[in-house]
Amino acid sequence: MSEFKGNNYILVIFDSCRYDSFVEAAPKTMMKLGGVEKRWSYASWTAPSHYNLLMGLLPHHSPQNVFASEYYKNDFLKYNERLGQENIEFKSFVPRLFLPAYLQEKLNYRTHAMVSLPVLNPRTIINQHFDTFRLMDSHNDMRAMVRELKFPEDRPSFYILNVGETHYPYALPDEPRDQWPRVSGVHGVFKHLDDEIVGGKIGGESEKFFDQKKLDQLRDRQVKAVQYLDLVIEELCDVVPENTYITITADHGELFGEEGYFGHGPIMHEKVFEVPFVEGKIR
């Protein structure tokens, strides 16, 4: 029995994971947390999306006939359930409007980040109000994150986990690098993916790499990555304390050839903003 009031909270971000890839994968463990929702990211690229997430702005429902300010107010009330607290509302986060700061300063949480993508490395401005912030040794090994989780009983803990298996090249940790897919004009941007280098996204001027058969194979790899991650989430659920609330979502989606697009970032397409969302408490 823990000594503190409230929940540990884990925010899991499957980088670049499309909603329909997630649904096709039918991840049994994750779906036990709650119903899978289609939601919309506030941004189409990793860094700005994570800033919104750390403001407490999780992917939204895109409601009609609602003032944005009212939506925010109602959405922030959900943190009472997530954190097992009372009287949390939008104004609770003012003036910093930063979830880790609120958790540290108002609720005495330990705050931790483990990230897979170099654009979120500890030297970036996003590393604020964290007790620990780590760029993982590999961009595609959530299981290594699970092994690092610790939950001291004197204070609640918050973790944000940026998971890279669902990001191009959609590779699992035991897959040899020489078997990773190579898309001309794109792969070179990622050749230092596991170095501490902030990389870009799509590169090259040629559109010859837009081979739809190959892009369909890439989407299938993302689906299989979600299926694999469901096993890792099962392991996570086995190691966390009962008073732990987990939210699983994505920072943005991905294009696999729809209307001539691949990837994400400087692309305006609904599939880039459409993300899965599921959450619930470990009991």
User: Does the pLDDT value for residue 185 go beyond 70?
Assistant: no
Q: Which CATH superfamily is domain 8-282 in?
A: Alkaline Phosphatase, subunit A (3.40.720.10)
Question: What would the 3-class secondary structure string for 60-96 be?
Answer: ECCCCCCCHHHHHHHHHCCHHHHHCCCCCCHHHHCCC
Q: Are 154 and 129 in contact (CB under 8 A)?
A: no
30 exposure class (CB count in 10 Å sphere: 0-12, 13-18, 19+): buried
C-alpha to C-alpha distance for 253 and 176, rounded to whole angstroms: 25
Domain boundaries, the chain: 8-282
C-alpha to C-alpha distance for 66 and 107, rounded to whole angstroms: 31
Q: Which residues pair with 161 in a beta bridge?
A: 12, 114
User: Does the pLDDT value for residue 1 go beyond 90?
Assistant: no
pTM for this model (two decimals): 0.91
**Helix/strand/coil percentages in the chain, nearest 5:** 35, 15, 45
C-alpha to C-alpha distance for 115 and 137, rounded to whole angstroms: 10
**For residue 144, which amino acid is it?**
A
* Average pLDDT across the chain, whole number: 89
pLDDT in tens, 199-235: 333 334 444 556 888 889 999 999 999 999 999 999 9
pLDDT in tens, 14-61: 999 999 999 999 999 999 999 999 999 999 999 999 999 999 999 999
User: Does the pLDDT value for residue 194 go beyond 80?
Assistant: no
Instruction: Specify the pLDDT at position 246.
Output: 98
Instruction: Specify the pLDDT at position 248.
Output: 98
Instruction: Specify the pLDDT at position 204.
Output: 41
Task: Report how far apart the first and last C-alpha atoms of the chain are (Å, whole number).
Answer: 13
